[in-house]
Amino acid sequence: EFFVALMFITIIGLAILLAPNLGELATGLVPTQFPEGSLLSVLALIGGVGATFTLSSYNYWVRERGWASPPWIPMMRLDLIVGYALTALFMVAMLVVGAELLFASGESISEEQGLVALADPIQERFGVIARWLFLIGFWAAATSSIVGAWNGSAYLFADSVRTSRDVPDERAEEYLSEKSIYFRAMLVWISFPSMLLLFFGEPVLLIIVYAALGALFLPFLAITLLWLLNSSRVAPEHRNGIVSNHPGSLGIALYRAWGAGDSGRRLGSYRRDLRVNICAAPDYRGVVMQQKDNRVLGRDVRGPVRAEGLDTAPWSHEDADATVEFTTNELTATCPITGQPDFYELKLTYRPKEALIESKSLKLYLWGFRDRGIFAEDLAATLLKDLVAACDPAEMTVDLTQQVRGGLQIRTVVRHPSG
């Protein structure tokens, strides 16, 4: 609990130090139409903050504390209110930190990097102590979340076995105990077979899908709670009142309007995109460029993209000795020491093999460096590495010139293949 509190204070402190625009932050909290391709991420955010599994397991945890009689109901309500308020505050702070330190530089959390992708820019801005406070706190938070999920799912499974066998409440302890065979069997089941999912090589996507599935369960849980807490099973003094019923009903209505409605529009949009792509492919001899969720071509993208977002188009003229050249004098970055802006001229040339770099995604990728602290030489090498990974060219040269600063001009030329 100490380390979780440490993580909470660290994230709130980082959000305050980053000094976000409070007006824009408030505007961003107002529900609106989902950005293109963001439905899964929005559902994951709802599921993560909503803590569906926590709500389902809450009954067993208060039972462990001995809060088993009606006089404890006000305490339970206060416990949930404080918990959700702190969770909401933490998530807003986390969004601020992510937006300022990752999105602004075109970076993201992907593959096996995990939170190191966020820890590195934290160290650059606030020092090594802030980095380790962040990592230790998040380790504690992740560990407690895993243990809580294991514990809750084991209780739910054991209780479902008890219910299916019509075992009375007087004998519930035989099932709802950490020594119960059903409790322990579920722990084994979710601990080991689930590890097979790691072979898919998409750890971040698995987390997002898990949280999104939790969001889809929220309307059912809300309806069930509204029904139970207004039924005669609950003492009149503890039933829901207007203050509790109206927000719950409003939440269900909003979920239906923004969630299900937007899902239908997205499905229709994906079908239209597929038809457009098929019809627009004659110049590529019938080869269709498939759009993925992280692609930008043909979509309204209003911010920088990371390297994984670079689009490519098929190139079927390997017999041609073709050279493609991009030039720009609008590439900017910042000095990693002083934070002052650096201005660059970039000349990118390459000989394609099977893929071409799409210009719109390249522009948005270069845009991502505008607030990123990086030296000129490192920037040239980073550009070459990312662009080679995107299109696998036969040859590529990045010729980068930093405009004069302090009377010196820096030119860095890197090539693939090296030598």
Could you give the residue numbers annotated as active site? 335, 342
Cα dihedral 178/181/186/188 (nearest 10): 90
Non-local CB neighbours of 382 within 8 Å, separated by 6+ positions? 374
The residue behind tokens 């970076």 is 107
Beta bridge partners of 333: 342
Non-local CB neighbours of 332 within 8 Å, separated by 6+ positions? 341, 342, 343, 344, 369, 370
Q: What share of the chain is helix, strand, coil (3-state, %, to 5)?
A: 60, 10, 25
Paired tokens of 305: 């993209």
Backbone phi and psi for residue 353, each to the nearest 5 degrees, phi listed first? -105, -65
Instruction: Answer whether 309's CB lies under 8 Å from 327's CB.
Output: no
Give the DSSP H or E segment for 402.
strand 395-405
